[in-house]
Structure 1
Amino acid sequence: MPSPVESGQEIMIPLFDAESAGAPVHVNWQQSLSQRKADYYALTADNITTGEQVPFFIAAEYYKSSTKANPSHITKVGELVEGEGYKVKVDGRLQYGQKNAQGELRFIVYHDKERKPYQHRFIETAVGSATAGKAAEMAKAFGVGGAAGDQIMDHLKAIVGDYLHTF
């Protein structure tokens, strides 16, 4: 099991490529008695510090090339490493979800922290909307031996109803 990403470590976010990023996943939640929704890209980031990989969700408006004017766009907060991606230090700009207090199956979310979806909204959405190849990638990222979405969800039942945490 990979060690959980910690504050102060550095991660590499892949360069935006519409084909490899695939379609954004739609995350729905309820906040302040109203329905909310937002699009995210479900990626795999490299933890430069440990050499491991970590599931990473980024708000579409912080990642797509057409939204570079956004002051929170990845191009404004990450250090460009030509041909690789954006190097980002794990800090209070990022949030995370995990299976338990030991940090098992930790994933990272970069978005507007005014959004308050439960952790499980990201996992259910990413697994449910994944293509066969993307499902296998998500299964690997979450430390599950197969590509089956049911397997991933069985491992993540413990996070239901828990908000994201800030590093």
Structure 2
Amino acid sequence: MLNAQRLSSGAAGAARGQAPCARPAAPHAAPSRPLVAARAEASNGAYDGNPIMSGPISVGVGAAASDVAAEKGAKPVDRSKGLWTRCDKCGVILYVKHLKEHHHICFGCNYHLKMTSQERIEHLIDPGTWRPLDETLSPMDPLEFTDQK
């Protein structure tokens, strides 16, 4: 309704020989030069318009995790370690939890990714029925083979 009144008043003004009302500038329009930069240039690189901020201006979000870890002498923590893996064939990134639910088969190319022996046993054998035999059995070399290297 308000836009229709503006249009009709602008058209009526034009019909009476008056110039139509100019559209006001947006209240949040960006100035031609940033205000902080103009103030910083005026004060030789220091923003002195605010008593709290005095000295050179620097904009940043904070220290990166790798910078903080480098200062402490520790390795940066990789929180996504073990959550994601990449398909060896097509290169698509896969969520490990979903990959285990789908028996280590890639969603993109149906490639069968590697799985550990324990994971393979869990997929093949009913839960609670696996009992390994001869766990104390150790390897022997009755023929005394020797390596060429």
TM range (shorter): under 0.3
Larger strand share, 1 or 2: 1
With the length of structure 2 as denominator, give the TM-score of the two structures: 0.17
Q: Which has the higher contact order (CA 8 A, sep 6+)?
A: 1
With the length of structure 1 as denominator, give the TM-score of the two structures: 0.16
